[in-house]
Amino acid sequence: MVYLDHAATTPPRPEVLADMTDGFGVLGNASSLHAAGRQARRTVEESRETIAEALGCTPHEVVFTSGGTEADNLAVKGLYWARHARDPARRRVLVSAVEHHAVLDPAHWMADHQGALVEELPVDGYGRLDPGTLRAAIERDPGSVALVSVMWANNEVGTVQPIAELAAVAAEYDIWFHTDAVQAVGVEPVDFAASGVSALTLTGHKLGGPVGAGALLLARGVDPVPVLHGGGQEREVRSGTLMTPLLRGFATAVRLAVAERAEHAAELAALRDELVAAVRAAVPDIRLNGHPTERLAGNANIGFPGCEGDALLMLLDAQGICCSTGSACSAGVSQASHVLLAMGADPDTARESLRFSLGRGSTSADVKALAEAIGPAVERARKARARRRS
């Protein structure tokens, strides 16, 4: 199998597996007062400290969640509720039009059920949000904005946003700024304090950690209304028994990913360029979607004119090559990518793209296998599309 879908999920690192395996053999609830509970609590707090050190925040600013989707929901819903409660005039939620559905869907749920006014801000042809666009949207009525949420790097096309500039604009108007950095941590230089954001989402399984462990980083004074209620284990912000072994593995994954980031990103970028060149040699009329330079090192979102992306994906899958038409969360849903549509593509063009995403373990042999398979697969996909339309 040739696995080119690391943006969807990537294998746990051996060090992570070893940490979790050891942890699963240790009994104890981190909220219990006895010795076993105190030992579990120590592991949780050491994990929190590890993540804080790696990402430029204090341990108190790390709130553990079950993953990116929960963290995004807590940020969008909880921060809106908190700000709106303080000032009922603040009803607007500003998001970029290319956000992950873990941000877009809770934002629109808030509009349908909680009276929020959601505005999707337009991006350019590369998928980037200009700080001037954000400023103009805020200045239409600065006192009505409760929250801004813009992802650090796009999961589909890999475009990296100017987060520090965008966060600075929001800060000028005393508006909380959340960023989904799920794809960025371990590939981009992510520093919570230096970025100026109010809240930041990350998850374990995108960077060699386990599925089921994530975090929302919250700056001091930024306190969302809880989405989950119960024991209040995480600063009274998030309830639920902490899964100590997963958090230990999560922390190890973050520590290693950040420590190795520069070298790893350089290797990924070189392999990505090799992949794009190899595919272009086989199919000369491809399009590379997303920003040409400000993009994730391991992301290649490629348009294949005359093909249906879903059909091409299955043809490659039959050859043992795993890739994606976009977000894994939208898999199986036959619709054009909202990201490519927001970037100006028409619906037919938006359905022509595949995402190839590289990670640890990706090799030139994987690129060679794709290069050998892509030409015949594209030819078959184009003939099939032409037959359906004739």
- Enzyme catalytic residues: 329
| Direct distance between the N- and C-terminal alpha carbons of the chain, in angstroms, rounded to an integer | 35
Closest CA to 223 of 108, 111, 87, 75: 75
Structure tokens at 18: 């070893």
- Tell whether the torsion through CA atoms of 45, 47, 51 and 56 is positive or negative: positive
Residue 70 CA to residue 51 CA, distance in Å, equals 18
Q: What is the DSSP letter of 185?
A: B
Residue 345 Ramachandran class (φ > 0 left, ψ -120 to 50 alpha, else beta): beta
User: Do the Cβ atoms of 166 and 138 come closer than 8 Å?
Assistant: no
Q: Is 92 helix (H, G, I), strand (E, B) or coil?
A: strand
Residue-wise DSSP of 252-320:
HHHHHHHHTHHHHHHHHHHHHHHHHHHHHHHSTT-EEES-SSSB-TTEEEEE-TT--HHHHHHHHHHTT
Q: Per DSSP, which regions of 102-212 are E strands?
A: 117-121, 145-149, 176-180, 199-203
What is the tally of helices (H) and strands (E) in the chain?
14, 12
User: Could you give the maximum distance between any two Cα atoms of the chain, in Å?
Assistant: 73
Residue 207 Ramachandran class (φ > 0 left, ψ -120 to 50 alpha, else beta): alpha
Residue 135 CB-density burial (10 A; 0-12 exposed, 13-18 middle, 19+ buried): middle
Strand order in the sheet with 214-218: 62-65, 214-218, 199-203, 176-180, 145-149, 92-96, 117-121
